[in-house]
Amino acid sequence: MLTRAHKILIGALVVQIILVVVMFLRGDGGASLVEAPLLPGFDAAKVTHLQVFAKDAAKPAVDLVKGDKGWRIASAFDYPIDDAKLAALLGPIAKMAASEPIATQSSRHAQLHVADADYERKLVVTIAGKDTTLFIGAPAGSRRNAVRLGGDDRVYAVAGVTPYLAGTEPRDWMTRRYLDVPGDDVTKVTIKRGAVTTELAKDDSSWKVSIDGTPVTATAPDTLDIQAIDDAVGAATSIDASAPADPRKDASSPTATITVEHKAAGTKPDVIDVVGDGTSYWVKSRALDRAVTVDKARLDRALSLGRDSLIRKPTAKPATSPGSGSPLPPGE
């Protein structure tokens, strides 16, 4: 027997069923939450030009161009870029997707930092001669940033695309390691600085050092500083760049020249010219068409090597005094 309460519950259920059917037929409800690509058909492999604008800048901070020799930093002496860093940006851009926009009026653009003249990053991406402008703005929810396409007032909250992926300095796009010779492949390092020539030659598993042809040796209790030698060899054979530099700089009178000889038969020595430039060094391998600046402190571990820095003196023991645990003098 149906009571009044049963009839009310049945009626409410029928109303809910009707509402679900209506929403389904209208395409509302869950369907509105499905994310759609913002750049359908975007192929990262077909990108040939990328300009990165820093926060609110009128001119691009970095200009990347794809040519016959691969991607280069056109704004920094055509220095080659690290392809992995480019893929880390273009990959997420190709996958950008969103459901409903978080803003549709231009009055919201500045607030979200995706306005034409107020943004965190502005990218101009070129495919087949056609430019696509992308504004990356402020955080917009959990692990999402506001993103707007140029010429479109709609703003979307997008995951995976942040300003930090689009570096605004040439060093953000380059491979930092400029020279990298494995330790097992090094037989000799020669450093010529002014009139002084320092040679570090490997003898079996140890290093022998000579300065202007005279071996550097230690007389007991002094010892040869093996760590200083290892640091010097490492600094000369593994050079990390701070930024690209002009390869056309005059190096006819270098501050120093480093020559690295290899164990592998037939491998030509690496000859690197070094020119002092304030707090950095201009560095160029004669085998490469590119140059870099290198932090002075790093390279000085090799260039400042001298006889005094190679000899380690024994550490003097502190003098003891009465009352510190030492025996008292006789008669006391």
Q: What is the pLDDT of residues 203-215, one digit of tens each?
A: 877 899 999 999 9
pLDDT value of residue 141 = 87
Same-domain status, 195 and 304: yes
Higher pLDDT among residues 27 and 80, named by residue: 80
pLDDT tens profile 108-135: 999 999 999 999 999 999 999 999 999 9
Q: Which of 137, 172, 207 is the last residue of a domain?
A: 172
DSSP string, 123-147: EEEEETTEEEEEEEEEE-STTEEEE
The pLDDT-based confidence of 318 (bands split at 50, 70, 90) is: low
Position 70 in a domain: yes
Please say if the pLDDT value at position 312 is more than 90: no
Same-domain status, 52 and 101: yes
pLDDT value of residue 67 = 93
The Cα 263–Cα 197 span in angstroms is 21
Q: How far apart are the first and last CA of the chain?
A: 116
Same-domain status, 205 and 264: yes
The pLDDT-based confidence of 29 (bands split at 50, 70, 90) is: very low
How many domains in the chain? Answer: 2
Q: Which of 240, 230, 272 is nearest to 254 (CA)?
A: 272
Same-domain status, 168 and 207: no
Same-domain status, 161 and 198: no
pLDDT tens profile 58-90: 999 999 999 999 999 999 999 999 999 999 999
Same-domain status, 191 and 275: yes
- In the three-class reduction of DSSP (H, G, I as helix; E, B as strand; rest coil), residue 76 is classed as coil
Q: Which of 124, 143, 172 is the last residue of a domain?
A: 172
Q: Which of 136, 152, 172 is the last residue of a domain?
A: 172
- Residue 62, domain CATH: 2.60.40
pLDDT value of residue 31 = 47
Same-domain status, 103 and 218: no
Please say if the pLDDT value at position 323 is more than 60: no
* Cβ-Cβ contacts under 8 Å for 309 (sequence gap 6 or more): 225, 228
The Cα 176–Cα 294 span in angstroms is 10
Same-domain status, 229 and 128: no
- In the three-class reduction of DSSP (H, G, I as helix; E, B as strand; rest coil), residue 314 is classed as coil
Position 15 in a domain: no
The pLDDT-based confidence of 322 (bands split at 50, 70, 90) is: low
**Among residues of the chain, what percentage have pLDDT more than 70?**
85
Position 32 in a domain: no
Give the least confident one: 45-49, 50-54, 113-117, 327-331. Answer: 327-331
The Cα 291–Cα 202 span in angstroms is 28
Position 27 in a domain: no
CA distances (Å), 85 to each of 30, 74, 75, 321, in order? 36, 16, 17, 63
Same-domain status, 90 and 64: yes
- Which residue segment(s) compose the domain that 159 sits in? 38-172
Helices (H) and strands (E) in the chain, counts: 5, 25
Assess contact for 201 and 207: CB atoms under 8 A: yes
Strand partners, 292: 244, 283
Please say if the pLDDT value at position 282 is more than 90: yes
Please say if the pLDDT value at position 155 is more than 70: yes
Same-domain status, 184 and 301: yes
